[in-house]
Amino acid sequence: MASSGLVGAFIVVGSAPAISPAAAFMVTAGAVIILGAIMVHGRESSTVSLDYDLSSEGSQRFEALRNAFGAVASCSRVWSIPLERQEADWKRNAGVSKTVEQTRYL
């Protein structure tokens, strides 16, 4: 009997909105706009722009470096192979003479 009265109290308390939907929307939209403006301002204020005047040789070297990075970026996968070790027990490793550990970057 006491549990049915408790359920009725929860329904009565939960049914009355504390704030209208329009006001809730306005508060939420305002918070999103303010937080977005703070984030954009923070990103702009922490960015440093550098301008270089390169010589002809320096410009060519920079262009070659940029092309090399472009070639790496266009690969479907990029691996790092930090460790390569000789296998002494070739019978247990299917005749393999070297074991390679690799880490996938892209």
First CA to last CA distance, the chain: 64
Per-residue pLDDT tens for 36-66?
A: 888 877 776 777 778 888 899 999 999 999 9
Give the single-character DSSP code of 105: -
Please say if the pLDDT value at position 98 is more than 70: yes
Per-residue pLDDT tens for 59-88?
A: 999 999 999 999 988 888 888 877 777 777
Beta bridge partner(s), residue 99: 85
Q: pTM score > 0.75 for this model?
A: no
Give dist(CA 58, CA 68) in Å, integer. 15
Average pLDDT value for residue range 4-31: 69
The closest alpha carbon to 106, from 67, 65, 63, 71, belongs to 71
